[in-house]
Amino acid sequence: MPENTLTPVSAQIRAEFRPKAMNFTAFEVGLDALYAANLRQCRLAIGVGQDVLARDLGISLSQYRRYESGRDYMRMGTTARYMMHTGIPFQYFFLGGPYDYLFSSLTIRLDLLRVQMFVGQQNDRVFTALITLLSELMDIALPPPPSEDGLYWPSQDEVAAELPGYYLMVSNGLRHFREVLALSQEDLAELLCIAPSTLGSYEKAKNEPHFNVIMALRLWAATGVNPVWLTYGSHFFNMRRLQHRRMEYLCQLLHASPVPMLPLLIRAIDALTAFRVESGRSR
């Protein structure tokens, strides 16, 4: 059996573990309609058509339309592609619903969607330029972002190279997750309100069975552990963790600022975006 890839973070996972029995059938009533509406709102914020987004996600237009009609949920591999291409964390799909309490310690706010999109797609150099420009607009010296503990912002190519094997990574992570917590398949399946055989199929990663965003949320709600840990050790994990840390840093600045800072932050983002577009045209 391969080494448990979650061993280095087993203490953090055990510290987060708070098992909770839930009736997900009742809890998730109406969630499909909310998901569809939020997904459409996110696409409109990006400013692209369904056909363009479907192409970026590597799926058919008809399949994407199933998402925005509430007839289907994205699988986690497709969701990973969505987050890489847009910078938008999947939690935005569920804002305003019963899972909101899971995001209370995060930076998932509708008024910060534009910020999330930018922060989730730019490398360290561009993020540093954003803080420098924001300091100039506010005419104050802002504290530097906190140390990243050895993490670095991966390139789009590094993340993209992992995505074909993304579900294998998640299925292995799910099995290792159980091992860290000393849970049997029966134990975890009961918490997720699914059959043990279904959980077994998730852990085998055959043709990416329907382990979708709903299952990720159930895992989070039933165990208290953020499902991002399933991808620990990957470039995708680094990207998601650093995006979260960047947003925490910006939210601390927003909270401490004596003047309304969000409009200036959006202005700085728009200026950098326009500069990068113009620079790309001139090459």
pLDDT tens-digit readout, 57-98 = 999 999 999 999 999 999 888 999 999 999 999 999 999 999
Q: Tally the C-alpha atoms within 13 A of residue 121's C-alpha that lie toward its C-beta.
A: 19
pLDDT at 283 exceeding the cut of 90: no
Answer for the pair 45, 70: CB distance below 8 angstroms, yes or no. Answer: no
Q: What is the mean pLDDT of residues 210-220?
A: 90
Which residues on neighbouring strands pair with residue 75, listed in sequence order? 212
Q: Does residue 265 contact residue 138 with C-beta atoms inside 8 Å?
A: no
**Residue 142 pLDDT exceeds 60:** yes
Report pLDDT for 167. 87
Record the tokens describing residue 212, joined without a space: 């979708």
Q: Which residue has the higher pLDDT, 270 or 144?
A: 270
Taking a C-beta distance cutoff of 8 angstroms, is the pair 67, 36 a contact? yes
Distance CA 154, CA 189 (A): 34
Residue 152 has pLDDT above 50, yes or no: yes
pLDDT at residue 150 greater than cutoff 80 = no
Rounded-to-integer distance, Cα 209 and Cα 10, Å: 26
CA 256 to chain centre: 26
* Residue type (1 letter), 212: N
- What's the pLDDT score for residue 189? 96
Distance of alpha carbon 101 from alpha carbon 75, whole angstroms: 22
34 neighbors 208 (Cβ within 8 angstroms): no
What ranges in the chain are assigned the alpha helix state H?
A: 10-16, 24-27, 31-46, 50-57, 61-68, 76-86, 113-119, 124-138, 156-162, 166-181, 185-192, 196-204, 213-223, 235-256, 262-282
What does the pLDDT read at residue 3? 57
What phi and psi values does residue 66 have, to the nearest 5 degrees?
Answer: -65, -35
CA–CA separation, 233 and 113 (whole Å): 27
Percentage of the chain lying above the pLDDT 70 cut: 93
Backbone angles phi, psi at 76, to 5 degrees: -70, -30
What mean pLDDT is predicted for residues 237-248? 92
Q: pTM of this prediction? A: 0.89
pLDDT value of position 281? 58
pLDDT of residue 207: 56
Confidence of residue 226 (pLDDT cuts 50, 70, 90): very high
Indicate if the pLDDT at residue 148 is higher than 80.
no
Per-residue pLDDT at 1: 34
CB atoms within 10 A of CB 1: 5
Whole-number pLDDT of residue 18: 96
Supply the mean pLDDT for the chain.
90
The answer to which of 99-113, 143-157, 214-228, 252-266 has the lowest mean pLDDT is 143-157
Contacts of residue 234, Cβ cutoff 8 Å, sequence gap at least 6: 162, 169
